[in-house]
């Protein structure tokens, strides 16, 4: 089958999936609703499978449709990018910029930079997602990801750049410390209310301690409060519900304002590495190259400032 046959109906299909109805897709494509419906039906006939579940009130993708949509959306985005770069023959950032970020770190430190970068480059269309789960950068068509954690198992299709490392400290609110004034040794933590980070599967992230030999030891504490959000951890600690081990990038402002106080400073320890990750095939695209350099400069400086 020729390439043109493969491409027939794909734009109609993707637009319909994004819009959620034939009518809305028709308005976007400047076609009749009937033409859009027939275009999708012809594509389904050619593929030999249903892409949508249709009812009188709703339109939703089937499992096969979901899988086909992810591939088609990525292909169309790459074609759009290629046309943008070739047609304009420009070296300025342009087109859709797809970036995935850790939730708390991304909101606090990366998104403000990206908004500033986008304002300086009006031909960019920013699409930022926030997730702490593992994201397949290649499969999901992501131009760049910021990741907190090891990159030892990184695919050879991906490149990465280290931005630095977290610094973890123990902290609490002044009000809580006024009720527990004698916190001088690590053993005191066992007697305190601990605010921990927990995942949806029920597991709890351990606290990290530097051992006598310099190795990092991990201990899962008996948390009084367990939450699945770094921002929620900070709120609970600020509210006086206990102590926590937090990255300094997360609580820089709270420490400066005196809303949180570091305790047991001799137990501060390096945390996880922070990295930029991107597909090697996209590195020379102007939008990726420029945002890499911009984020590298500013995030590296921020991490140094908070360590």
**Count of alpha carbons within 13 angstroms of residue 295, beta-carbon side:** 31
Domain that holds residue 122: 90-163+272-306
Task: Please state whether the predicted TM-score (pTM) of the whole model is above 0.95.
Answer: no
Taking a C-beta distance cutoff of 8 angstroms, is the pair 76, 144 a contact? no
Pair (97, 241) in one structural domain: no
- DSSP string for 27-64: HHHT--HHHHHHHHHHHHHHHTS--EEE-SS-EEE-HH
Tell me, what CATH number does 105's domain have? 3.40.190.10
Pair (112, 64) in one structural domain: no
Number of domains in the chain: 3
pLDDT at 89: 45
**Residue where a domain terminates, one of 85, 107, 122:** 85
Q: At what angle do helices 33-47 and 10-19 cross, to 10 degrees?
A: 120
**Count of alpha carbons within 13 angstroms of residue 77, beta-carbon side:** 19
Pair (172, 265) in one structural domain: yes
Spatial separation of the C-alpha atoms in residues 196 and 243, rounded to whole Å: 9
Neighbour count for residue 224 (Cβ, 10 Å): 14
Pair (189, 216) in one structural domain: yes
Tell me, what CATH number does 245's domain have? 3.40.190.290
Pair (63, 126) in one structural domain: no
Spatial separation of the C-alpha atoms in residues 162 and 151, rounded to whole Å: 10
Q: Which of 6-10, 202-206, 297-301 has the least mean pLDDT?
A: 6-10
- For 103-114, how does the pLDDT look when each residue is reduced to its tens digit (9 = 90+)? 999 999 999 999
- pLDDT band for position 172 (cuts 50, 70, 90): very high
pLDDT surpassing 90 at residue 299: yes
**Residue where a domain terminates, one of 57, 85, 113:** 85
pLDDT at 140: 86
User: Average per-residue pLDDT in the chain?
Assistant: 88
Spatial separation of the C-alpha atoms in residues 235 and 15, rounded to whole Å: 41
Give kind and range of the element (H or E) at residue 196.
strand 195-197
């Amino acid at each position: 089958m020729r390439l043109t046959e493969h491409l027939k109906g794909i734009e109609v299909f993707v637009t319909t999936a994004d819009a959620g109805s034939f009518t809305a897709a028709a308005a976007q494509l400047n076609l009749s609703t009937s033409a859009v419906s027939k275009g999708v039906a012809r594509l389904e006939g050619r593929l030999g499978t249903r892409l949508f579940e249709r009812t009188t009130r709703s339109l939703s993708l089937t499992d096969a449709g979901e899988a086909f949509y992810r591939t088609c959306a990525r292909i169309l985005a790459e074609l759009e990018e290629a046309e943008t770069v070739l047609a304009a023959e420009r070296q300025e950032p342009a087109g859709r910029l797809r970036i995935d970020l850790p939730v708390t770190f991304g909101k606090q430190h990366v998104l403000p930079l990206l908004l500033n970068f986008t304002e300086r480059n009006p031909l960019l269309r920013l699409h930022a997602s926030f997730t702490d789960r593992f994201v397949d950068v290649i499969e999901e068509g992501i131009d760049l990801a910021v990741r907190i954690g090891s990159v030892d198992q990184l695919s050879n299709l991906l490149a990465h750049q280290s931005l630095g490392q977290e610094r973890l400290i123990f902290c609490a609110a002044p009000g809580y410390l006024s009720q527990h004034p004698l916190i001088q040794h690590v053993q005191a933590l066992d007697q305190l209310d601990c605010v921990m980070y927990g995942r949806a599967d029920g597991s709890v992230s351990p606290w990290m301690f530097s051992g006598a030999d310099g190795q990092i030891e991990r201990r899962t504490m008996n948390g009084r409060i367990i939450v699945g959000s770094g921002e929620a951890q900070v709120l609970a600690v600020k509210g006086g519900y206990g102590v926590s081990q937090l990255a300094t990038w997360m609580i820089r402002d709270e420490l400066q304002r005196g809303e949180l106080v570091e305790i047991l400073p001799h137990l501060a320890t390096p945390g996880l590495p922070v990295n930029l990750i991107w597909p090697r095939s996209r590195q020379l695209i102007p939008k990726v190259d420029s945002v890499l350099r911009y984020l590298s400069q500013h995030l590296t400086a921020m991490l140094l400032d908070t360590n």
